[in-house]
Amino acid sequence: MMKQIKNLRSTAAIFLVMMVATAQAADNPRETPLVKAVKRARTAVVNIHSEKTATGGDALFGNGKNRKISGMGTGIIVDERGYIVTNHHVVNGVDSLRVTLHDGSAYTARTIAIDQRQDLAIIRIDPTGKLPVMPMGTSSDLMLGETVIAVGNAFGYEHTVTSGIVSSLSRDVEVNEKQSYENLIQTDASINPGNSGGPLLNLNGEVIGINVAIRAGAQRIGFAIPIDDARRVIARLISIERIDHNWHGLLARDVKQGAERQLVVQSASPDSPAAKAGFQPGDIVLRAGDLNVIDNVDLERALLNHTPGEAIRIAVRRNDETRTLQLELARRGPAPVTAESVVHVAEKSDEEETRGWQVLGMKLAPVSGQNAEIRGTRYRGGMRVTAVRSGSPAFLNGIRRGDILVGLHIWETVSEENITYVLDHAQFASFNPLKFYILRGGETLFGHLDAAAGN
């Protein structure tokens, strides 16, 4: 009997030791909240390497020797299919982009959409499998002195981690004559060249800002775009209308205040898929397909890559009840071909003889820099699209009557002479497909015109 008692005591002692060891391992004093935060978020951070061509001599006439310049930046995975957000200035004017993931795999990336004024861009890679998506926080309840962490490609040193505090909120910063920012987060976490586009994290490992700028000549003064501001821009940049040319017609607003994060329906456009599905003002969108929804980015992500007419289940909360609506997307391609917007080839006119009409399929009229749509932007003026020829490069790329053409390739377009200069340039063949920039609804959009198409 005594022997059995001793054996039981021995077994209990061993069990107690194992329990203590397990508890100690689970509560490793070295694994601080900061370490845990980095572990949670780091796999959704990517390193960006770029290459662009710099022209020596007179760039306007192409004189001088060209040379390649390498650049670097950081990005945040916002969708498992390979959509990544970074800064516009990281991808602006580059010839090529290379993205390296946390596991070391590398992919060629392409620019999907940009917002120059907000200095944000969406690029995309084609991964072999689903990617980890960055945990999203909110910038609505940031506290002065709160610990934050910056992760990025600092000076080309990939996945560099620095930490600091929130030094100030709502900073307005003018970087140069061409770029200024509003409502930035100021931090003393070290942000260096190459950090641009990377995440500023809280101690939960959630992104609360996108690192964007540093103060030259100062130490430990860096800035980040609040994530709530950035997510509103990202939603527009990855909208299904922009990427898939589909349409849902739902207008909803992000509501974020600390732990309260939800997408509230404001209205549904008349005769739109959302109106037909039965959305009502005040509905709170909970889920779209298999994705939980807290803001417009989640909604657009959930609707990406679906075909028109396909029914998508949307769960909403209405009057404390959960309801399921069936949303069938509709096609939203280039602007409709109408007598008012399209001049057919058979209709001869003076405008048809312009180079913009002949090569690109657009009738254009000058817009002054004092125009309400131009004023407050970076542009000195532009060319209003007054008509689009059916089947032309402009038509095939979704350019609409009312758009303002503000740039072709690397040049501004404020007059017909600017357009003629680009289209008759001796090196025009090397420009094709021709990059274009238009203003539409206060946003700068871009794309590429194949000048060999539609002629």
Q: Catalytic residue numbers?
A: 89, 119, 196
Bridge partners, residue 64, by sequence: none
Q: Are 449 and 409 in contact (CB under 8 A)?
A: no
Q: Are 380 and 413 in contact (CB under 8 A)?
A: no
Q: Is 310 helix (H, G, I), strand (E, B) or coil?
A: coil
- List the Cα angle 391/368/378 in 5-degree steps: 90
What CA–CA distance (Å, rounded) separates 394 from 401? 10
Q: Which of 65, 95, 90 is nearest to 76 (CA)?
A: 90
What CA–CA distance (Å, rounded) separates 450 from 454? 9
What CA–CA distance (Å, rounded) separates 109 from 105? 13
What CA–CA distance (Å, rounded) separates 285 from 283? 6
What CA–CA distance (Å, rounded) separates 171 from 173? 6
What CA–CA distance (Å, rounded) separates 320 from 88? 41
CA-to-CA dists, residue 441 to 140, 236, 281, 364, 404, angstroms = 27, 12, 23, 18, 10
For residue 323, the Cα-to-chain-centroid distance in whole angstroms is 31
Instruction: Indicate the DSSP class of residue 402.
Output: T
CA-to-CA dists, residue 368 to 121, 415, 417, angstroms = 27, 10, 15
Q: N- to C-terminal Cα distance for the chain?
A: 101
Q: Which of 201, 302, 242, 206 is nearest to 115 (CA)?
A: 242
